[in-house]
Chain A
Amino acid sequence: MIEILYFEFFRNALIAGLLASVACGVMGTYVVVKKISFISGGIAHSAFGGIGLGYLLGFNPIIGAVIFSIASALGIGVISQQGHENEDTIIATMWATGMALGILFIALAPGYAPDLMSYLFGNILFVPTEDLLIMLLLDVLIIGVVWLFYNEFLALSFDEEFATIMNIPVKKLSLLLLCLIALTVVMLIKIVGVILVIALLSIPAAIAHQHTENLKKIMMVAILFGMLFTFAGMWLSYLADVPSGATIIILAAGAYGISIAFGKIRKKSVSMR
């Protein structure tokens, strides 16, 4: 255990897990209480288009992921706010179109895409130091904006109509919230990849929501669960020499299942009293 800490990649993986868990816990809480996991899935998958574009034009695929995920967050948000189209259909379209674009761009790109799999399924052991800096900046940005708009975000997540009457700019702030989710999704792509993001974003907050009742506490507990799953998953995948992203998700899903069962037993024992 000690000697692997000397490896830079392992140290970077630990820091990446830590940084991603912070954003994931905070924004995952909004995803869970607003019940918008499906929107987050759409944003994550459409980010793949940006990753493909990065390969095609030769820039950092993560930059492409940021552009595409923000664009799809705004697209889903604006179109569904207009209320003419079915939100469900828009999300599904963005979801698949992003993936399709990514596949086309990569097919058109010259040569071979060496770390393509790491974008699809994540590889926490493969996070370069410069990406850590991007993740740190994103964390600061996300926490700063959430701190500033905490009361507004709470009001519009809880009761959009009442927030409107209170003259809170509900539409604009909802779009801002979606953009923050998009940035979080990009961070998590490094850890578990485009396809598995949706689970890592929602499971820690969902478990926290089962056992705590205050939004800030849910965020804190979700951050801790996120760290637990990434670190434990990373370590297990190292020992067993299996993909880390998938291991993290399986661990998280297992914990969620146990948490649901535990919650049911607890409720039963309360009602029997």
Chain B
Amino acid sequence: MSKDRAKESSEEIIAMEDVWFAYRDNPVVEAINLRIYANDFLGIIGPNGGGKTTIFKLILGLLTPDKGRVTINGGDPCEHRTVIGYVPQYRTFDFGFPISVQEMVLMGRLGTIRKPFRKYSNEDHAIVQNCLETMEIVDLRNRQVDQLSGGQQQKVMLARALATEPEVLLLDEPTNHVDVQTGGHFFGLLKELHEKMAVVVISHDIGAISTTIDRIGCMNKRLYLHDSAEITEEMIAESYQCPIDLIAHGVPHRVLQEHHVLERK
């Protein structure tokens, strides 16, 4: 992962310029302008259905914008997406599939193998070993993924993303399937990873996010960015004012209150 440091910390990696996207005729994402730099640590919050996951899919070239432009390192997302480590929210796979932790993490190397008939080299195995160590799951390497707990599975997904040696890590609700304690540990890990790469994390866990990220974006069809190292309750209230119709339901406040209760315990 040393190559990332070779980049200037302020260098732009991902750029979204006036990006619009609609599923059938349902606009999900409107007029998004977002630049992600090599030293970025961005948190994205917002209500469900607000288009957060869609932003990631547009960046990864899994969806094509109806209008506007997405670039990775100045080029086409489909060509350059291998510099991104992606941890999806929804399990796009079946955990009953006969595959070991090691085999799953190795898949993160497939994007960097240029030769046809991709076979893993010794270097690939060494990188995977490193990622397993970083995530503290070396002892699970030969286990089947369906034998793991939610937190362990999440670590394997992150290890797979790290195996791509990414310049940017995109995480979609990484603490959704884990308990509060593991979630806290997870954000600590992200903070360490941020030393080496840009991190963008979508999360409902505003309490955990606020102590780790450098800036925050509030997403509800449109993206409102706030440059701030710390999120105050006022700031969240302010940022959630952008989705005016949704703040009336008090979604973010309810999340916050739950966390206050937990902290008192």
Interface residues, chain A, with chain B CB atoms under 8 Å away: 33, 148-149, 151-152, 154-155, 157-168, 209, 212-215, 218
A163 contact from B79, B84, B99, B110, Cβ within 8 A: B110
Residue numbers in A under 8 Å from B117 (CB-CB):
148-149, 152
Chain B residues numbered 61-106 whose CB sits less than 8 Å from any CB in chain A: 62, 78-79, 81-82, 84, 86, 88, 92-94, 97-100, 103-104, 106
Cα–Cα distance between A162 and B97 once the two chains are bound (Å): 15
Chain B residues numbered 87-131 whose CB sits less than 8 Å from any CB in chain A: 88, 92-94, 97-100, 103-104, 106-108, 110-111, 117-120
B120/A165 in contact, CB under 8 A: no
Cα–Cα distance between A165 and B81 once the two chains are bound (Å): 7
Residue numbers in B under 8 Å from A167 (CB-CB):
78-79, 81-82, 111
Q: A149-B117, A157-B97, A158-B104 are in contact. List 6 more A-B contacts (CB 8 A).
A: A151-B107, A151-B120, A154-B103, A162-B86, A162-B107, A213-B100
Count class of interface residues, chain B: 20 to 34
At the interface, yes or no: B134 with Cβ under 8 Å from chain A? no
Residue numbers in A under 8 Å from B111 (CB-CB):
165-167
Are A151 and B110 CB-contacts (below 8 A) given A159-B93, A167-B78, A167-B81?
A: yes
B144: nearest chain-A partner, CB-CB: A213
Cα–Cα distance between A160 and B62 once the two chains are bound (Å): 11
Cα–Cα distance between A168 and B99 once the two chains are bound (Å): 19
Are A159 and B62 CB-contacts (below 8 A) given A33-B98, A165-B86?
A: no
Cα–Cα distance between A206 and B207 once the two chains are bound (Å): 46
At the interface, yes or no: B160 with Cβ under 8 Å from chain A? yes
Residue numbers in A under 8 Å from B81 (CB-CB):
165, 167
Cα–Cα distance between A163 and B110 once the two chains are bound (Å): 8
Shortest distance between the CB of B116 and any CB in chain A (Å): 8
A218/B98 in contact, CB under 8 A: yes
B110 contact from A168, A209, A213, Cβ within 8 A: A168
Residue numbers in B under 8 Å from A166 (CB-CB):
82, 107-108, 110-111, 164
CB<8 Å pairs between A and B, sample of 17: A149-B117, A151-B120, A154-B107, A157-B97, A159-B92, A160-B92, A162-B107, A162-B160, A165-B82, A165-B84, A165-B86, A165-B111, A166-B82, A167-B79, A167-B82, A168-B110, A209-B98
Interface residues, chain B, with chain A CB atoms under 8 Å away: 60, 62, 78-79, 81-82, 84, 86, 88, 92-94, 97-100, 103-104, 106-108, 110-111, 117-120, 144, 160, 164
Residue numbers in A under 8 Å from B84 (CB-CB):
165
Residue numbers in B under 8 Å from A218 (CB-CB):
98
Are A151 and B93 CB-contacts (below 8 A) given A166-B107, A213-B98?
A: no
> Which of the listed residues B62, B79, B94 has the most CB atoms from chain A within 10 Å of its own CB?
B94
Cα–Cα distance between A162 and B160 once the two chains are bound (Å): 10
Residue numbers in A under 8 Å from B118 (CB-CB):
151-152, 168
Shortest distance between the CB of B237 and any CB in chain A (Å): 35
Cα–Cα distance between A151 and B107 once the two chains are bound (Å): 8
Cα–Cα distance between A130 and B134 once the two chains are bound (Å): 57
B147: nearest chain-A partner, CB-CB: A213
Are A158 and B86 CB-contacts (below 8 A) given A209-B98, A214-B98?
A: no
Cα–Cα distance between A236 and B93 once the two chains are bound (Å): 41
A167: nearest chain-B partner, CB-CB: B111
Cα–Cα distance between A74 and B79 once the two chains are bound (Å): 27
Are A158 and B107 CB-contacts (below 8 A) given A152-B118, A165-B84, A215-B99?
A: yes
> Which of the listed residues A161, A166, A214 has the most CB atoms from chain B within 10 Å of its own CB?
A166
B103: nearest chain-A partner, CB-CB: A154
Cα–Cα distance between A30 and B144 once the two chains are bound (Å): 18
Cα–Cα distance between A151 and B99 once the two chains are bound (Å): 12
Residue numbers in B under 8 Å from A159 (CB-CB):
92-93, 107
Residue numbers in A under 8 Å from B103 (CB-CB):
154
Shortest distance between the CB of A163 and any CB in chain B (Å): 7
Cα–Cα distance between A160 and B94 once the two chains are bound (Å): 11
> Which of the listed residues A33, A165, A218 has the most CB atoms from chain B within 10 Å of its own CB?
A165
